[in-house]
Amino acid sequence: MSQATSRNRMRDFLPAQWGDLEGVVEQFLGPGGFRGVQAYYVPASVWEDSDSYHVELDVPGVGREQVELTFEKGILVVTTERSAPEEPRQGLVDERRYGKVTRTVSMPESIDPESISAQLSDGVLHVIVAKKPEAQPKRIEV
């Protein structure tokens, strides 16, 4: 019985050198596609306390003018955009992401849409949505 040679088929799809990867990407995305705007994920936390719901998003490098906050039909929509650097860069590693990101949060009917407020501080966007007074816990004196 002859011994079969094992071959890594993945090598057929990868360029010989990682430096050639940009050429492969440009074949599919066009010139500059490798360095262009790339989507990214914005981590979020959502919680409630006795009188409000809170939504926090990590958005480093995003200014107030790059945040859009809307509420319609029970859905809170937060859209942020981090712009890519204007000048071309010849870097070795670039793990930062740029572009527009939209996160949506379904809100319960017990909220007061008129109460929605937001603060942007130190790269964290904090949205506060108050509960309607009738939805807040009531303490009953005995």
Mean pLDDT by 10 residues, the chain (142 residues): 49 50 50 50 90 94 94 94 85 82 91 95 96 78 86
Would you state the pLDDT for residue 78?
Answer: 95
Structure tokens at 140: 């009953």
Would you state the pLDDT for residue 16?
Answer: 52
Nearest residue to 62 via CA among 36, 100, 104, 35: 100
* DSSP type of residue 61: T
Q: Is the dihedral of CA 12, 13, 19, 20 positive or negative?
A: positive
One-letter amino acid identity for 101?
V
126's CB contacts (< 8 A; 6+ apart) are 54, 55, 56, 118, 119, 120
Would you state the pLDDT for residue 40?
Answer: 67
d(CA 51, CA 139): 13
d(CA 103, CA 129): 16
81, with CB counted inside 10 A (0-12, 13-18, 19+), is middle
Would you state the pLDDT for residue 37?
Answer: 46
